Structure 1
Amino acid sequence: MLRGTLRALDAEQIDRLHDGALQVLERTGLQIQGEFLLRVLADAGCRVDFGQHRAWFRPDLVERQIEAQRDRYKMVRSSLWHPFCRETPADGIAAPEAFTVDYGFATPWIFDYPLRRYRKPTVEDQVDMIRLGQALPSVAAVNAPLICGDFDPRIEIIESARLLLLNTTKPGWVGTSSGREVKYLAELANLVVGGDRERLRTCPPIFVAAYCTTSPLKLDTRSCEVLEEALKYGFPVNFAPMPILGATSPITPAGSAVVAAAEILGCMTATTLLDPDVFYFSTSISAEMDMRTTQIRFCTPSAILTDVALHQLFREKYGLVHNVEPAYVEAKTPGIQAATMKVFRQMAFGSTVSLPLAIGALDNAAVFSPTQAMIDLEVNEAMHRFHRGMEVNDETLCLDLISELEFCTARTYLESEHTLKHFRNLGWNPRLFDRTACDHTAPVSLGDEKLLDEADRMWRELVAGQPPVEREKGFSAELERIVESARGELLRDT
């Protein structure tokens, strides 16, 4: 593995961010739409305005609660799931040992490449995309790829979880939209792990343990309702701000980092007062307001630097895991813009934070494209191989072979057994990119159409060749019981 990181902050700057976040919490506080959190803060001596759902935090309380969580939880992931690294190495970024990619972002749209348009996903789309994740060895966990438009929104999460469990043996998460869903997702998670409490405490499947704060300085009703229910099951807690530089937070990376840090620290302080024993970590997905178009941009230097600063603050000051999410890029369709933005964002994080490798997301993770996923897969393999670094030992130095072949007058390294033994493991051999010889006298075809056509064929072949998942009768029966129970409650008129 490569070693070292690029540092965005020195020790003095880290202390200033920390002090700034404490000042924000003391002077301005947070708006928290959960009375259970406000009450525990009031009991701890914080000033609370229950009518305004607002709490101000004592700096000493924040520091005490956060210090108690130091080094308790170490697993590293992208924003949500899958933990690809057991812990961040002391001398570098976190990266998977084996080639592992993030798959599935519960997007409300799918890009239909043959039709050249976006569509609302169907059940068939959901099943196909789950089966695609099942077919890819580098996908360690298949998250719900899509939000399925065929289902009633009140039960879509549970129905998508059912499809996930019927079509993959490596289920990741589905989204969570209300506190009423939590008990059913908890039952499904318990079914998957066979009652393994440690997995449920550290990396539960099905349930996505993320609570998005709303910049500036708010935790909304939905997040509070889900959090209150989820704490009953001991799931890990991930507070995840998404500041927008110049809109919902200051235009400067430092100012936005202070706002986001205050949100995380304040929410974590309140929740640890209530339950200090669950595991806590955080995530940020910072963006920047485009002042020409008013659109949100994630793939910008300032947005990325904000996330990097937050990671380095939480890692070095608090001993807490802080994750980043490379999947959010504003490219709308498969092709060169998407590939360029993804490589920039992932390489920036890969030199400063960690190397989660996402595939298939477009339009700031509002769209999933299996066609783009095939391109991302090949590019990500190159990034993984690069970060894996090189070995220096007798076998790789091959001094005897160099001495034997001398000036390659009789034969070359191409004919050697050493090359035959190692070329597959060391080489990068993408199927999609044209690396053939160039005929400079022939007409030139510009554009990505040939590559995109082949990428589209590739994913369809993978899905077509994927055998059905077989589940034990007992598993299937319990799955149907849980889902039917959820339908009975969640579809009931309210």
Structure 2
Amino acid sequence: MFDLKPEIRVMTREQIQKVHNDALLILEKTGVMVDDPGARALMEKAIGKSHGNHPIQIPREFVQRAINSAPSEIKIFNRLGNPCFTLKGDGSQDAVFGIGVTNLNYQDPLKNDIQPFYRHHMAAATGLGHCLDNFDFISTPGVIQDISPETADLYGVLEMMANTTKPLVILISDWDSFNPALDLCEHLVGDISTHPFLIPYVNPITPLTLNAETTMKMDASIKRGLPLIFSNYGMSGATCPITPAGTLALLTAELLAGLAYSQLVKEGSPIILGSQPAAFDMKNAGSFYSPNTLLLNLACAEMMTFYKIPHCGTSGSGNGWGADLLASTTLCINHFTSCLGKAGMIPFVGGSFDSLVFSPEFVVYSDDVIHQSRLFGSGFSLDDDAVGFSDISSVGPGGNFLLSDLTGKYFKDSLFSSTIWPFLTLDKWRGKGEPTAEKILKDKTIELLNNPAAPEDKDEIISKGESFLTN
């Protein structure tokens, strides 16, 4: 009753209803393209109207049925079958974070250079996420460059399976590898649907296109009983209207179209929805996150809460050149607001240079930012016991609370809490040779990479998986 818990709300009920109505209007008047003939036939049959090769216009009652049938809670487990977290559509859950995603390069903290993303980088990145306590799951960190494209996705999934027991968000670039990747996972652990730890990630083509690979991957995931993430990436002024209102309405319409399709494939299918709204720099022809787009992320999360659908949002990565000041601004705003808003999953932490380069230092820094944000979001109690009337009375005017009962009980909770940097006075800092914050972060990252806490069955998983892939 007297617990203080900070939160951010960005929209009123009336504003949420306005965005919902705008999204429905887009679906009814403009519609969506559905590229795969099978998916198109399924939607046209359900709607009762053929659209030829034109966009399919989706009636609002059709969307509402999908909203009503999708589950509002999804339980996620680890590879060992133990519960990890529950994704809640009512927005009551704490935000959960994962590393990622599909970077083509790797920023080596030891050599301080940028290299193509190789198989051993996949193992290192996954292992890093495994040992950092504030990451709840692992998303595909990169695209392996030293293995043929035909099997790179499969070996990537194998390295993820072997180097962590945490839940996995998997991004498979090639449709031909999608079912084989799921076959590999079933071969390694058996049943993957009863206690789901795999969450396939799919995305439409913005604006308003359900491309064939996306709907086929949705079909395959749903038929295997897996929850899936349907998330769109929109650049305001390029693939979305340049105004925040237009971007939010368009992206919401796309998410509702994906939701509607998922419930057509199988009513009650677990799905996680969300957007990654970005700005587009027309001068340099690149995308980036800004304060406005991070605000849109919170608005999208509140829309999903309105629908009671679990949410997946932005991760604040991409703007920097590694773990630097440029990256830290966006990262801190994203993680802090995600912990205080209605955000659900934050899946793609660790990318820099517009998500082309995976930075281990950035991941370690992010772990600390998540830790600090969660501490802020946890709030505090205002109960009488927490006030400490007895201590105040016994200490009285002019005293101190260094040896009071409450101080003895809680002093460890108030210690300097960084997961990376020590608390140093000026004299102690000078005594340590005046280290820079960057040097301490780099040393911490290298230590973690050099001493991975691999799962006990790592070698067994690798051996079993390689045998499967070579036969």
TM-score, reference length from structure 1: 0.82
Q: What residue is the counterpart of 2:252 in the other structure?
A: 261
1:367 to 357, 360, 378: 357
1:187 matched residue in structure 2: 183
Q: 1:462 to 1:252 in 2, by over 3 A?
A: same
Paired position in structure 2 for 1:404: 394
Give the superposition deviation at 1:473. 8.8
The residue number in structure 2 matching 1:74 is 73
- 1:352 and 2:341 matched: yes
Q: Which residue pairs with 2:154 in the alignment? A: 158
The aligned length equals 458
Q: 1:250-301 CA distances to partner (integer Å, 9 max, x unpaired)?
A: 1111111111122122232233223213212311000111243332122x23
Instruction: Describe how 1:278-293 pairs up with structure 2 within 5 A.
Output: 278-293=269-284
On the 8 A contact 1:432/1:451 being kept in 2, the answer is: no
Instruction: Tell me the amino acid that sits aligned with residue 405 of structure 1.
Output: V
Deviation at 1:50, TM superposition (A): 4.0
Work out the CA distance in 2 between the residues paired with 1:242 and 1:234.
25
* Residue matched to 1:173: 169
CA offsets per residue over residues 294-316 of structure 1, 9 Å max, x none?
32122x23222333232222322
Confirm or deny that 1:33 pairs with 2:39.
no
**One-letter code aligned to 1:427:** L
Q: What letter matches 1:172 in structure 2?
A: L
User: Does 2:312 align with 1:323?
Assistant: yes
Q: Deviation digits for residues 190-214 of structure 1, max 9, x if unmatched?
A: 35654263323xxx32xx4222111
Distance 2:384 2:190 in 1: 46
Q: Which residue of 1 aligns with 2:80?
A: none
Matched with 1:95 is 94
- Cα distance, 1:386 vs. partner? 0.9
Greater percentage in strand = 2
Bigger relative contact order, structure 1 or 2, given CA contacts below 8 A and separation 6+? 2
Could you report, residue by residue, the CA deviation over 1:198-237 in whole angstroms, capped at 9, with x for unpaired residues? 323xxx32xx422211111112232133223333212223
Question: Which letter does structure 1 place at the counterpart of 2:275?
Answer: S
Corresponding residue number in structure 2 for 1:124 = 120
Aligned to 2:79: none
1:46 positional shift = 4.6
The alpha-carbon distance between structure 1 residues 288 and 28, as it changes in their structure 2 partners (threshold 3 A), is: same
- 1:155: Cα distance to partner? 0.8
Q: Which runs of 5+ in 2 are unaligned?
A: 77-82
Corresponding residue number in structure 1 for 2:417: 429
Q: Match for residue 460 of structure 1?
A: 446
Q: Secondary structure at the match of 1:334?
A: coil
Cα distance in 1, alignment partners of residues 140 and 460 from structure 2? 23
In structure 1, stretches of 5+ residues that fail to align are 486-494
The 1-side partners of 2:450 and 2:184 are apart by 28
1-side partners of 2:257 and 2:157: how far apart?
Answer: 32
Q: Following TM superposition, by how much is the alpha carbon of 1:188 offset from its aligned partner in structure 2, in angstroms?
A: 3.6
Paired amino acid for 1:367 = V
1:121·1:146 contact (CA, 8 Å) conserved in 2? Answer: yes
Alpha-carbon offset, residue 342 of structure 1: 0.8
**Alpha carbons of 1:137 and 1:110: their partners in 2 closer, same or farther (altered >3 Å)?**
same
Alpha-carbon distance in structure 1 between the residues aligned to 2:353 and 2:318 = 6
Asked if structure 2 preserves the Cα contact closer than 8 Å seen for 1:31 and 1:219, the reply is yes
Q: Which moved more, 1:100-109 or 1:349-358?
A: 349-358
Question: 1:385 is matched with which residue?
Answer: 375
Answering whether residue 414 of structure 2 is matched by residue 413 of structure 1, we say no
1:286 match: secondary structure? strand
- Cα 1:467/1:340, change in 2 over 3 Å: closer
- The match for 1:13 is 15
Pair 1:130–1:210, CA change in 2 (3 A): closer
Specify the code of the residue in structure 2 equivalent to 1:22. Answer: L
The DSSP-based 3-state class of the residue aligned with 2:73 is coil
Secondary structure of the residue aligned to 2:107 is strand
User: SS of the residue aligned with 1:285?
Assistant: strand
The residue number in structure 2 matching 1:470 is 456
1:309 to 295, 299, 322: 299
Mark the CA change 1:73 to 1:479 in structure 2 (over 3 Å): closer, same or farther: farther
Give the Cα separation in 2 of the matches to 1:405 and 1:427: 22
**2:229 maps to 1:238:** yes
Alignment CA distance shift 1:93-1:305 (3 Å): farther
Task: Tell me how far apart the structure 2 counterparts of residues 391 and 350 of structure 1 sit (CA, whole Å).
Answer: 18
Corresponding residue of 2:57: 56
Equivalent in the alignment of 1:489: none
Aligned-partner Cα distance in 2 for 1:65–1:169: 33
C-alpha RMSD of the superposition: 3.2
Contact 1:37 1:271 in 2 (8 A): no
Q: Structure 2 counterpart of 1:353, which letter?
A: K
8 Å CA contact 2:421–2:440 kept in 1: the answer is no
Q: Deviations over 1:2-47 (max 9, x none)?
A: 5464333323322222222222222211111111111012212454
Q: Is 1:450 paired with 2:439?
A: no
Matched letter for residue 38 of structure 1: R
State whether residues 211 and 240 of structure 1, in contact with CA within 8 Å, keep that contact through their aligned partners in structure 2. yes
Structure 1 SS opposite 2:416:
coil
Taking a change above 3 Å as real, the CA distance of residues 64 and 418 of structure 1, as seen in their structure-2 partners, is: closer
Asked whether the equivalents of residues 158 and 462 of structure 2 are also in contact (C-alpha less than 8 Å), the reply is no
Q: Following the alignment from structure 1 to structure 2, what is the Cα–Cα distance between the partners of residues 175 and 472? A: 21
Q: Which amino acid aligns with 2:235?
A: I
Q: Which amino acid is the alignment partner of residue 129 of structure 2? A: G
Separation in 2 of the partners of 1:363 and 1:352? Answer: 27
- Structure 1 residues 370 and 93: CA distance shift in structure 2, 3 A: same
The change in CA–CA distance for 1:258 and 1:110 in structure 2 (over 3 A counts) is same
Give the distance between the partners of 1:66 and 1:468, measured in 2 at CA: 40
Q: Is the 8 A contact 1:370 1:456 kept in 2?
A: no
Alpha carbons 1:42, 1:48 under 8 Å: kept: yes
